Amino acid sequence: MPATCVVGLQWGDEAKGKIVDILTEKHDVVVRYQGGANAGHTVVFDGKKFKLSLIPSGIFRSQVPCLITGGVVLNPASFITEIEGLQKEGVSCENLRISDRAHVIMPWHFEEDRLMNRTTTGEDIGTTQRGIGPCYRDKVGRSWAIRMGDLYTEAFAERIYSLCAVKNKILYGMDPAGGESRLDAEKIVSDYLNYAQRLRPMVTDTTAYLLDALDENKKILFEGAQGALLDIDHGTFPYVTSSNSSGVGVCNGSGVAPRHITKLIGIIKAYTTRVGGGPFPTELDNEIGQHIRDEGNEYGTVTKRPRRCGWFDAVAARYTARLSGASVLSVMLLDVLSKLPEISICTEYEIDGVRTRNFPSQVDDLRKVKPIFITVPGWQQDITGARRWEDLPENARAYVQLLGKLIGTPVEIVSVGPDRQQTIFVDSSSL
Ligand code: GDP
Ligand code: IMO
Ligand code: MG
């Protein structure tokens, strides 16, 4: 019956993985429903740090099944490497299931990602180069798509041969320097049949699995990847990812209807970060931005790129919380701001001299934004040992409360460090 979703409300890396890992204990199934190996989710406990990409962050509770549904684009090679890495660390992946509807990332998708990383205006999207956009493009285009279930059909090899013929022509047209027949169909067939055999026990109809789980009143936890501002339909297009990474994507990615979703936890950092191209109104391209990057270790989990850092943008977060249907918030990485004497929050945008609390639909308007800030005093003390709301200094509590007020959604969780233990569950009566 109850389904809870964990969704990032900024541009990704809000520490969704940490919250999913913690909440898995109270759920019966964990579900990754969109994105692919562009995601990098970090889970820390018992002094160990795990980085996950395709595998749901619930994997550390071996009794809880982890599903990867049809909305995900799956690179079998990196998926197998990820499983093997976890197994080496003693993590059981027995309970992992992948949808036969999930689309498969093929070697040409990487080439296409490399060659088509630009928007029509010529600026880099700055993709993770994991073949995500091209694979989703082929999914929507239908003719050139391969799904997990296709790997087990007799026609698979034949399809790869004809697809390689088409894709070789396209790639040559885009980049003649790469040669006329860079895709080796025979090798691709052999590699992918090997992956298919290895993954066979995990491949199933996850939609049917989830619908049965709902009938049985199982508690389902949905793990979003990326963040709502990267949503293909509602984000800062074209500087977005190719899936519905806001709350609206849970249903189409998983096959679970909206009426089952009872709670949506919007995950926010206490400040803002972004990796890749595109406008970022509150960006701090100065020593404060560098301070936040250093304190928060803000370097990409997947690509290691330095993350762009800035003040908390309440206009953007209010938009994505409403868009995603956030019922509560989880404020992450609060400790990163601990040394700052003053902290700013963007509460309004000024566009062409007009003040607004609405997030613009056009990226050119977002580029014009003059952020209007309020500045509040910092707390300037270490909070990484805080475990209860009352343990936080008054200014830190006031800051968290202000974020909730500006977004219009109550704060339920506050995180003061990467470890599972460094998490405060806020009793609403204490706010
Ligand atoms: P995700 O993609 O949303 O799961 O987030 P990432 O794992 O890419 O990035 C979040 C980073 O912040 C990871 O390195 C986490 O270990 C770390 N982290 C999570 N919560 C906290 C916190 O409260 N404080 C600090 N300092 N680091 C945190
Ligand atoms: P998690 O799940 C942060 C960004 C890329 C690029 C844009 C498009 O860890 O929060 P893509 O490879 O998806 O076509 O790249 O989206 N991006 C992310 N940024 N966190 C992520 O995932 C991201 N996944 C994609 O940097 O700007
Ligand atoms: Mg990440």
Residue owning tokens 């000024």:
350
- Does the model's pTM come out above 0.95? yes
Residue 34 CB neighbour total at 10 angstroms: 29
Which residue's CA is the nearest one to ligand 1's atom 2? Answer: 13
d(CA 372, CA 196): 53
What is the distance in A from the centroid of ligand 2 to the CA of 34?
12
Say yes or no: CB of residue 278 within 6 Å of ligand 1: no
Catalytic residue among 21, 27, 28, 41: 41
Q: What is the pLDDT of residues 343-385, one digit of tens each?
A: 999 999 999 999 999 999 999 999 999 999 999 999 999 999 9
What is the distance in A from the centroid of ligand 3 to the CA of 12?
6
Task: Identify the nearest ligand to the CA of 42 by its number.
Answer: 1
End-to-end distance of the chain based on CA atoms, in angstroms? 29
| DSSP state for residue 346 in the 8-state scheme | E
Is 41 an annotated catalytic residue? yes
Residues 6+ positions from 365 with CB-CB distance below 8 Å: 351
Mean pLDDT computed over 115-134: 86
Do the bridges between strand 73-74 and strand 103-104 make them parallel or antiparallel, or are there none, so unpaired? parallel
Q: What is the pLDDT of residue 116?
A: 86
Q: Is 24 exposed, middle or buried (0-12, 13-18, 19+ CB in 10 A)?
A: buried
Looking at per-residue pLDDT, the higher value among 384 and 116 belongs to: 384
Give the chain's mean pLDDT. 96
What is the distance in A from the centroid of ligand 1 to the CA of 318?
21
Q: What is the pLDDT of residues 40-52, one digit of tens each?
A: 999 999 999 999 9
d(CA 422, CA 42): 14
Question: Which of 13, 274, 307 best tests ligand 1's pocket when mutated (most atoms within 8 Å of CB)?
Answer: 13
Q: Is 78 exposed, middle or buried (0-12, 13-18, 19+ CB in 10 A)?
A: middle
d(CA 41, CA 18): 8
Residues 6+ positions from 122 with CB-CB distance below 8 Å: none
d(CA 228, CA 322): 11
Say yes or no: CB of residue 131 within 6 Å of ligand 2: no
Paired tokens of 237: 């297009």
Beta-bridge mates of residue 388: none
Q: What is the pLDDT of residue 431?
A: 60
What is the distance in A from the centroid of ligand 1 to the CA of 4?
20
Closest CA to 55 of 21, 103, 28, 10: 21
> Which atom of ligand 2 is least distant from the CA of 224?
2
Band of residue 300 on the pLDDT scale cut at 50, 70, 90: confident
Closest CA to 316 of 371, 275, 261: 371
Say what percent of the chain tops pLDDT 90: 94
Mean pLDDT computed over 102-130: 89
Q: What is the pLDDT of residue 152?
A: 98
What is the distance in A from the centroid of ligand 3 to the CA of 227?
9
Whether residue 430 is predicted with pLDDT greater than 70 in this model: the reply is no
Residue owning tokens 């990057």:
293
Say yes or no: CB of residue 223 within 6 Å of ligand 1: no
Is 109 an annotated catalytic residue? no
Band of residue 127 on the pLDDT scale cut at 50, 70, 90: very high
Whether residue 135 is predicted with pLDDT greater than 80 in this model: the reply is yes
Which residue's CA is the nearest one to ligand 1's atom 27? Answer: 418
Q: What is the pLDDT of residue 427?
A: 81
CA 16 to each of CA 39, 94, 176, 246, 268: distance values in angstroms, whole numbers, following the listed order: 10, 23, 41, 13, 9
Say yes or no: CB of residue 360 within 6 Å of ligand 1: no
Cis peptide bond prior to 238, omega within 30° of 0 = yes
Q: What is the pLDDT of residues 209-260, one digit of tens each?
A: 999 999 999 999 999 999 999 999 999 999 999 999 999 999 999 999 999 9
d(CA 14, CA 42): 10
CA atoms within 13 A on the CB side of 230: 30
Say yes or no: CB of residue 274 within 6 Å of ligand 2: no
Q: What is the pLDDT of residue 429?
A: 65
Say yes or no: CB of residue 76 within 6 Å of ligand 2: no
Say yes or no: CB of residue 135 within 6 Å of ligand 2: no
Residue 368 CB neighbour total at 10 angstroms: 14
Whether residue 420 is predicted with pLDDT greater than 80 in this model: the reply is yes
Residue 161 CB neighbour total at 10 angstroms: 13
d(CA 349, CA 355): 6
Q: What is the pLDDT of residue 120?
A: 67
> Which atom of ligand 2 is least distant from the CA of 301?
9
Q: What is the pLDDT of residue 303?
A: 76
Mean pLDDT computed over 169-193: 94
CA atoms within 13 A on the CB side of 320: 31
d(CA 54, CA 403): 31
